[in-house]
Amino acid sequence: MIRVISAFTLLLTLLIAASLTFGDISISWHAVFAVLSGSIDASQQDVMIVLELRLPRVLLGILVGTALATAGTITIAVLRNPLAEPGVLGINGGAAAAAMAVIVLMQDPPVFLLQVAGFCGATIMAVTVFLFAWRGGTSSLRIILIGVGLGALASAVTTFLSAFGEIGDVQRAMIWLSGSVYDANMLKVRLLSIWLVLPIMLTFLLSSELDLIRFGDNAARSLGQPVDKMRGLLIFICVMICGAAVAVSGLIGFVGLIGPHIATRLVGQAHYRIIPVAALVGACLVTSADLAGRVIIAPAQLPAGIVTGLIGAPFLAYLIWGRRHERG
């Protein structure tokens, strides 16, 4: 556990350093260090590039990755399904439909509006799923099925808009939908971190409840857990976390699914171990994806959401391969 955490922390530190150094204009390690330590030797240009362009982007990537992986850990445990990424709650579908509508139906929508639309779409959709699934109590299976059904409706709307929208708009929407941390600034970073602190801490404090609820409703209930209330609370936390992440970065896929699975394969089943490791994995994943996305084919940029799959999927495959002799 400690080894895994320190390894990923080291990796994350290296990724941060690399993200601050590499780019269209390469800045030496010394210069970056000078800028960060506030020394007077740093040139004006370096200060601008590092502090105003690259640093917010890295921090936003870390926040988004942490958020998505934590949210994914919650949904996998609460819905008791290894395929249940936060998108199952309708978060992605709602955000995608809202954002697609804004982009295709409006002339040059401001970025701000897009983010509000994304957050509202995600929250409204998740609340609808939960209310629809509520029938004198909740049930994981019912939430999953209702989520799938409403998700299908939402994606029908998205597909309809994308099939008949103007092709330039559709392409712009696709970039937003694939998720990126392009337009990061310090204000966004601050807002998101304030927003996320409480729910993520709460998730960590509730890790033993996550352990319980995964055993099944009856087992959890007989061990004294108010299952319906706890499920509602956890889903609420998950929507808060994930909705905000989706609003600032679009749909960065696979982190919520791959992060928790990688963590489980590394440190086992207890959630007080899974949550910090998954958060670190998520942060590394998004940071490295953003770095790779802007370096590999520079000056063009690949959205981080596309690269997360390319980096995370082989890593999980490697973990599966490495443990092929274990019987699960």
Partner 1 sequence: MRTGARTLVGRRMLAFFVLLFLLALGCLLAISVGTTWMPAKTVIAALVHFDGSRDHILIIAIRLPRVLTAIIAGSALAVSGAIMQAVTNNPLASPGLLGINAGAAFAVVTMMTLTGSGNGSSYIWFAFGGAGAAAVVVYALGSMGGIVHHSLGLILAGAVVTAFLTSLTGAVLIFDQSTLDAVRLWTAGSVSGRTFAEILDVAPYATVALAASLFIGRHLTALSLGQDASRAIGQNTALWRGVSLVIVMLLAGGAVALAGPIGFVGLIVPHIVRFMIGVDYRWVLPFCAIAGAFVVVMADMMGRTLFASQNFPVGVTIALVGAPFFLWLARTRVRAET
- Inter-CA distances, 292 with 59, 70, 298, 306, Å: 16, 23, 10, 10
Q: Among residues 114 and 173, whose Cβ is nearest to partner 1?
A: 173
Q: Is residue 83 involved in binding partner 1 (CB under 8 A)?
A: yes
Q: Smallest distance, Å, CB 309 to partner 1?
A: 3
Q: For residues 305 and 253, is the Cβ–Cβ distance under 8 A?
A: yes
Binder of partner 1 out of 6, 45, 171, 185 (CB under 8 A): 171
Q: Among residues 45 and 222, whose Cβ is nearest to partner 1?
A: 222
Residue 94 class from Cβ within 10 Å (0-12 exposed, 13-18 middle, 19+ buried)? buried
Q: Is residue 324 involved in binding partner 1 (CB under 8 A)?
A: yes
Q: Among residues 196 and 231, whose Cβ is nearest to partner 1?
A: 231
Q: Smallest distance, Å, CB 140 to partner 1?
A: 7
Can you say how many angstroms the Cα of residue 8 is from the centroid of all Cα atoms in its chain? 17
Q: Is residue 112 involved in binding partner 1 (CB under 8 A)?
A: no
Q: For residues 191 and 129, is the Cβ–Cβ distance under 8 A?
A: no
Neighbouring residues of 277: CB distance < 8 A, sequence distance ≥ 6: 1, 4, 5, 8, 262, 263, 266, 267
Count of positions on this chain that bind partner 1 (CB under 8 A): 65
Q: Is residue 178 involved in binding partner 1 (CB under 8 A)?
A: yes
Q: Is residue 198 involved in binding partner 1 (CB under 8 A)?
A: no
- Sketch the per residue contact string, 293 through 312, with partner 1: x for CB under 8 A, - otherwise: -------x-xx-xxxxxx-x
Tokens of 85: 């990424």
Q: Among residues 16 and 210, whose Cβ is nearest to partner 1?
A: 210
Choose the binding region for partner 1 from 19-27, 51-59, 65-73, 156-164 (rule: CB under 8 A): 156-164
Q: Among residues 215 and 236, whose Cβ is nearest to partner 1?
A: 215
- Among positive and negative, which fits the CA dihedral 136, 213, 258, 324? negative
- Inter-CA distances, 258 with 84, 157, 219, Å: 11, 27, 27
Q: What angle do CA 239, 11, 282 make, to 5 degrees?
A: 15
Neighbouring residues of 80: CB distance < 8 A, sequence distance ≥ 6: 140, 213, 214, 216
Residues at the interface with partner 1 (CB under 8 A): 81-84, 88, 132-133, 135-142, 144-146, 148-150, 152-153, 155-156, 159-160, 162-163, 167-168, 170-171, 174-175, 178, 216-218, 253-254, 257-258, 261, 300, 302-303, 305-310, 312-314, 316-317, 320-321, 323-324, 326-328
